[in-house]
């Protein structure tokens, strides 16, 4: 019985800032951001996009009408919820026209939510091999203007179609996980900006990676050499570098190829920034879209981390997959964004913090198919700009 990722889609908003501009505006040495953090650019999410519209934009080009009829579950991982009660998946279901005979719900555990959803999807397809599940990881990472976390902001969505036709990655259900109640990063209900104990969060991340990775090797009698690549949750590229360094020396010749693949896996993250639940999966996309040295049958390790904290290590086998379409689609989304000045970004960021019973978003700069029009009498209104329909 095969189960895994049949299709994958990505979206980020049509704006970005350059990290050299941000460093200059914050009186920092640009190399702190470019080298110390490893970030080159950062997506800026306008008020016309939220996790629902971003997920719909990520999914729209990958799902066929047949897929929409076969989907039994829409699992939406996010920590940027749009309502304290109603799940983002309900809106997504109608925007995408997915069958009403589906379970639709949201999962929250910081950046880990999409992985919880993925594991649930794998279990479900194992029992119901003729059905499909979509798993979403969509978020907007906000720490506040002029904070030390600002350089690690970003946002976007990854959508995966899980089925018994794993055309991209096949999973075998093997994973190791570890959780503990810690205060490394959290977001109180009254604010859209995260609170973080930054250096402590790095330590917890490394600790959870080492625990779950070493447990995985021991439990399944493997060594690091059994992996062609290791991918990570990437809050910022240097975090992944630190994690990989903890198990693979950069100067060790036997680790050369794992480091080569790692650098392919952070190409997109270094231009988009943190997208919380979607970050590990954007890194996986970056690896399989950009690497020309991986081949079918290669084992790819995946470390998922959600502050608070939950870690999980698992692995998948790369399938015989033509990556050219995926690479073209993702490159286009990232390359076609418009660059903002820091003052334009600051204005957009502040607008994104505003919420009221009635709002109307400026849609003029956003030609994405799905947008958030605003709120009317406390109800969110989305728009399909291609079909001219409001939801
Ligand atoms: P900071 O304290 O401003 O930075 O914030 P720093 O002083 O630690 O410097 C960063 C690095 O730049 C250091 O390198 C410096 O040496 C270097 P390191 O020692 O780490 O290797 N540096 C320079 N390099 C070259 N040229 C220079 C230069 N100057 C300094 N001139 C911090 C950094 C990451 C703490 C901050 O941005 C932050 O709090 N970010 C948010 C938290 C975060 O991303 N944590 C990651 C682990 S937790 C996680 O992944 C979960 C999360 O995604 C949320 C969720 O689960 O929902 C965040």
Average pLDDT (227-252) is 98
Same-domain check for residues 135 and 180:
no
pLDDT value, residue 258: 98
Same domain assignment for residues 205 and 130? no
**Domain ranges, residue 298:** 172-322
pLDDT digits (tens, 9 = 90+) for 126-177: 999 999 999 999 999 999 999 999 999 999 999 999 999 999 999 999 999 9
Same domain, 126 and 224: no
Q: Check pocket membership of 171 for ligand 1, CB cut-off 6 A.
A: no
CATH value at residue 191: 3.40.47.10
Spatial distance between the Cα atoms of 89 and 77, rounded to a whole number of angstroms: 9
Q: Ligand 1 centre from 150 Cα, in Å?
A: 10
Identify whether residues 109 and 178 lie together within a single domain: no
Q: Are residues 230 and 358 in the same domain?
A: no
Give the distance (Å) from ligand 1 centre to CA of residue 199: 7
Q: Is the CB of residue 31 below 6 angstroms from any atom belonging to ligand 1? A: yes
Q: What pLDDT score does 49 carry? A: 98
Cβ burial of 225 (10 Å; 0-12, 13-18, 19+) is exposed
Distance 46 CA to ligand 1 centre (A): 25
54 pLDDT band, cuts 50/70/90, is very high
329 C-alpha to center of ligand 1: Å?
Answer: 30
Q: How many domains does the chain have?
A: 2
Q: Is 106 annotated as catalytic? A: no
pLDDT at 355 over 90: no
* Residue tagged active-site, from 6, 106, 150, 233: 233
Note whether 266 and 290 are within 8 A (CB).
no
Give the span between the Cα atoms of 317 and 297, in whole angstroms.
Answer: 6
Does the C-beta of 239 come closer than 6 Å to ligand 1? yes
Given this model, what pLDDT does residue 202 score? Answer: 98
Q: Which residues pair with 356 in a beta bridge?
A: none
Residue 328 bears catalytic tag = no
What's the CA-to-centroid distance between 389 and ligand 1, angstroms? 43
CA atoms within 13 A on the CB side of 74: 26
Mean pLDDT of the chain: 97
Q: What is the pLDDT of residue 235?
A: 98
Average pLDDT over residues 4-16: 98
Instruction: Give yes or no for residue 235 CB within 6 A of ligand 1.
Output: yes
Using CA positions, which residue lies closest to atom 3 of ligand 1? 148
Is residue 41 located within the same domain as residue 181? no
Average pLDDT in the 91-109 region?
97
Give the long-range contacts of residues 142-148, CB within 8 A, separation 24 or more.
142/192, 142/193, 142/194, 142/349, 142/352, 142/353, 143/193, 143/194, 143/196, 144/193, 145/346, 145/349, 145/350, 146/26, 148/198
Whether 379 lines ligand 1, by a CB cut-off of 6 Å, is no
Question: 3-state DSSP: the chain helix, strand, coil percent, rounded to 5?
Answer: 35, 25, 35
Q: Is the CB of 196 under 6 A from ligand 1?
A: yes
User: Are 375 and 282 within one domain?
Assistant: no
250-300 residue pLDDT tens: 999 999 999 999 999 999 999 999 999 999 999 999 999 999 999 999 999
For residue 39, pLDDT over 90 is answered with yes
Structural domain ending residue among the three candidates 297, 322, 347: 322
| pLDDT given for residue 11 in this prediction | 98
What is the residue with the minimal CA distance to atom 36 of ligand 1? 149
* Closest ligand 1 atom number to CA of residue 79: 57
Atom in ligand 1 nearest the alpha carbon of residue 184: 48
Q: Are 227 and 306 found together in one domain?
A: yes
Per-residue confidence band for 1, with pLDDT thresholds at 50, 70 and 90: confident
Share of the chain above pLDDT 90, in %: 99
Query: Residue 52: which pLDDT band, with cuts at 50, 70 and 90?
Result: very high
pLDDT in tens, 237-246: 999 999 999 9
Of 274, 307, 322, the position where a domain reaches its end is 322
Q: In terms of C-beta density within 10 A (0-12 exposed, 13-18 middle, 19 or more buried), how is residue 185 classed? A: buried
Q: What is the mean pLDDT of residues 52-80?
A: 97
Atom 50, ligand 1: which residue's CA is nearest? 235
- Dist. CA 230 → ligand 1 center (Å): 21
157 & 233 share domain: no
* Cβ of 236 below 6 Å from ligand 1: yes
Q: Interhelix angle for 279-290 vs 256-265, to 10°?
A: 110
| pLDDT tens digits for range 163-222 | 999 999 999 999 999 999 999 999 999 999 999 999 999 999 999 999 999 999 999 999
How far is residue 220's CA from residue 19's CA, in Å, rounded to a whole number?
A: 41
The one catalytic residue among 6, 106, 111, 150? 111
Looking at residue 83, what DSSP letter applies?
Answer: -
Between CA 60 and CA 282 the distance in angstroms is 17
CA 208 to chain centre: 19
Question: Is 199 among the residues known to form the active site?
Answer: no
How many Å apart are CA 112 and CA 276, to the nearest integer? 8
Ligand 1 center to residue 93 CA distance, Å?
Answer: 37
Q: Is the CB of 124 under 6 A from ligand 1?
A: no
Check residue 380 and give its pLDDT.
Answer: 97
Query: Where among 276, 292, 322 does a domain terminate?
Result: 322
What pLDDT band is residue 19 in, cutting at 50, 70 and 90?
Answer: very high
Examine the domain organization and report whether 254 and 220 are in the same domain. Answer: yes
Q: What per-residue confidence (pLDDT) applies to 260?
A: 98
User: What phi, psi does 9 have (nearest 5°)?
Assistant: -130, 155
One domain for residues 195 and 121: no
**Residue 27 sits in the same domain as residue 155:** yes
Q: Is 109 in the pocket of ligand 1 (CB under 6 A)?
A: no
DSSP calls for 145-178: TTSTTGGG-EEEEEEEEEES--SSEEEEEEEEEE
292-349 pLDDT, tens per residue? 999 999 999 999 999 999 999 999 999 999 999 999 999 999 999 999 999 999 999 9
Q: Is the C-beta atom of 152 inside 6 A of ligand 1?
A: yes
Query: Is ligand 1 within 6 A of the CB of residue 42?
Result: no
Q: For residue 76, what pLDDT is reported? A: 98
What is the per-residue pLDDT for 75? 98
Residue nearest to atom 13 of ligand 1 (CA): 36
């Amino acid at each position: 019985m095969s189960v895994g990722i049949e299709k994958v889609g990505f979206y980020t908003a049509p704006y970005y800032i350059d990290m050299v501009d941000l460093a200059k505006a914050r009186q920092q040495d640009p190399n702190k951001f470019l080298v110390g953090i490893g970030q080159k650019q950062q997506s800026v999410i306008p008020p016309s996009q939220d996790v629902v519209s971003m997920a719909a934009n990520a999914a729209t080009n990958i799902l066929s009408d047949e897929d929409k009829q076969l989907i039994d579950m829409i699992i939406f991982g996010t920590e940027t919820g749009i309502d304290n009660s109603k799940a983002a998946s309900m809106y997504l279901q109608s925007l995408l026209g997915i069958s009403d005979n589906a379970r639709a719900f949201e999962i929250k555990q910081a950046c880990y939510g999409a992985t919880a959803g993925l594991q649930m999807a794998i279990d479900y397809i194992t029992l119901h091999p003729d059905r499909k599940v979509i798993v979403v990881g969509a978020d907007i990472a906000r720490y506040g203007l002029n904070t030390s976390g600002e350089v690690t902001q970003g946002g976007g969505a990854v959508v995966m179609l899980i089925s018994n036709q794993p055309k991209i990655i096949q999973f075998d259900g093997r994973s190791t996980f570890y959780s503990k109640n810690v205060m490394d990063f959290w977001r109180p209900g009254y604010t859209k900006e995260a609170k973080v104990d930054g250096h402590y969060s790095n330590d917890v991340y490394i600790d959870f990676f080492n625990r779950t990775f070493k447990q995985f090797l021991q439990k399944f009698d493997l060594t690091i050499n059994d992996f062609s690549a290791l991918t990570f949750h990437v809050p910022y590229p240097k975090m992944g570098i630190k994690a990989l360094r903890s198990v693979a020396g950069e100067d060790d010749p036997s680790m050369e190829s794992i480091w080569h693949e790692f650098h392919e896996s952070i190409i997109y993250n270094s231009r988009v920034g943190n997208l919380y639940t979607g970050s590990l999966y954007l890194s996986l996309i970056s690896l399989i879209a950009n690497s020309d040295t991986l081949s079918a049958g290669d084992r790819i390790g995946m470390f998922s981390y959600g502050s608070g904290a939950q870690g999980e290590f698992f692995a998948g086998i790369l399938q015989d997959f033509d990556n050219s379409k995926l690479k073209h689609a993702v490159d286009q989304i990232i390359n076609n964004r418009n660059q903002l000045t820091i003052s334009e970004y600051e204005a957009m960021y502040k607008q994104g913090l505003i919420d009221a019973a009635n709002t109307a978003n400026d849609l003029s700069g956003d030609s994405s198919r799905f947008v958030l029009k605003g709120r009317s009498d406390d109800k969110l209104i989305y728009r399909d700009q291609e079909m001219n329909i409001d939801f």
